Structure 1
């Protein structure tokens, strides 16, 4: 039966048939009618699919809310992008979120926020970098990490990025260094230690009319080994590798002024699992 057929409106078994539209175009009138019906069918099917999906989603929510006797095993698995619903942190130290829960959710939240700190512009300042490390690294490894990063954040590195030798920003430019976690994954966990991978997107460069190092985007994954120390998760070691990276889109690059303005006006987030 076509979408135009209806039964039971004028008597048992009676069928009302839609007549063909008048053919005014000798080269395609009839075919246009067919295409219209096809488009209508696709639209109706699409709406039905959406309705079914909406009903299924609503029913799933009802099941979750009323499944008291079924036990946790009867509940559907949480999606990888779903929030845990647990408050991420209880406090901050030097602007860095601290005070995580002693579970996997807490370890993931800590790793995400520590990734932001390690990828921030403040890491290019010796004083601010040491403060960050003292907040997020296990105490026994702070001195060694400070020495290692003092060597890494060298005048040569600063120059390659476009900064002054001491890590300060050249006049007339805005330095951009930001890391945004996309997702986290726990690969090992005990109540005392955890290994967490954090998939990130990053921005790095100088926004300015005279800049020869414009702000660019990169994708990378940071792996952190965490330890429960003094009532919080702290980093024991961390490493970084490239990717996974998506195919670049067709976005038009913003001007240096627009990029500098965005960095100054848009603040960051406290990340949570």
Structure 2
């Protein structure tokens, strides 16, 4: 779904040529299998080495979860500091007033802004109040409402409340690949979030099947009311890798996966 303009159009991908974009022949499955076995073997050896190293010392503090200043096993950031202290309206909140806190906020807000919930009027209002700075909420609410009209929702197989038809599941899930801070100050930050996502409707008769996409969202953040909030945002395509040889799943498999696999809270 495109968030970089006022049309609110869904993200679509045109058919591509059959040639190899890198100009070389396609690798055989046997070559790929050998490469995979090699990689797996290396990873297993590394894991074993790390596990052996961590067992050294027999320290009682380590057996009980580490010393007072060491990161706990459940830590969600390299520093051991939990990046999010609360969640409001289903959106992570309470990000640290740091550079890494701004990156964590940007990643989580990218997931929220390109989600299926943003298409539902009631949830959209909650998201706008939680994600955006107060003085931008009214204009952004109006922008979203104009983009996601009843006609637009109908064009992607949803009713006026953003719900799919019986027997179908609308999918719009974003996965941040990485973040890059392009500017940072005590009260403002600009962060690029490189994302992959799956978008479309899982259903036997859908005209809008679920496809994957790659894009980058740029978020201008402002420190306000004790948290990082979005002041403005833009979106562009890519960077995108060469498509793989994955076999497309059935509509039922895709709908089941979306329902059974939960999302994550992202942290830098």
Whether 1:185 and 2:180 are equivalent positions in the alignment is: yes
Counterpart in the other structure of 1:256: 251
Whether 1:119 and 2:111 are equivalent positions in the alignment is: no
Is the CA contact 1:84–1:105 (under 8 Å) kept in the aligned structure 2? no
CA distance in 1, matches of 2:143, 2:174: 21
SS in 2 for 1:254: coil
Among 167, 170, 175, the alignment partner of 1:172 is 167
1:132 Cα shift?
A: 0.4
1:86 Cα shift?
A: 3.0
Tell me the alpha carbon deviations over residues 221-255 of structure 1, each in whole angstroms, 9 at most, x when there is no partner: 00000000010000000010000011100000000
After superposition, where does 1:145-156 map in structure 2 within 5 Å? 145-156=140-151
When residues 91 and 165 of structure 1 are mapped into structure 2, their CA distance, relative to the original with a 3 A threshold, is: closer
1:117 Cα shift?
A: 0.7
Whether 1:201 and 2:201 are equivalent positions in the alignment is: no
1:155 Cα shift?
A: 2.5
After superposition, where does 1:34-183 map in structure 2 within 5 Å? 83-183=78-178
Counterpart in the other structure of 1:217: 212
When residues 89 and 234 of structure 1 are mapped into structure 2, their CA distance, relative to the original with a 3 A threshold, is: same
Specify every segment of 5 or more residues in structure 2 that has no aligned partner in the other structure, as ranges: 1-37, 54-76
1:172 Cα shift?
A: 1.2
**Greater relative contact order (Cα < 8 A, sep 6+):** 2
CA distance in 2, matches of 1:220, 1:122: 19
Specify every segment of 5 or more residues in structure 1 that has no aligned partner in the other structure, as ranges: 1-42, 59-81
When residues 84 and 152 of structure 1 are mapped into structure 2, their CA distance, relative to the original with a 3 A threshold, is: farther
Counterpart in the other structure of 1:37: none
After superposition, where does 1:238-253 map in structure 2 within 5 Å? 238-253=233-248
TM-score by length of 1: 0.69
Is the CA contact 1:162–1:205 (under 8 Å) kept in the aligned structure 2? no
CA distance in 2, matches of 1:234, 1:204: 25
CA RMSD of aligned residues (A): 2.2
Counterpart in the other structure of 1:266: 261
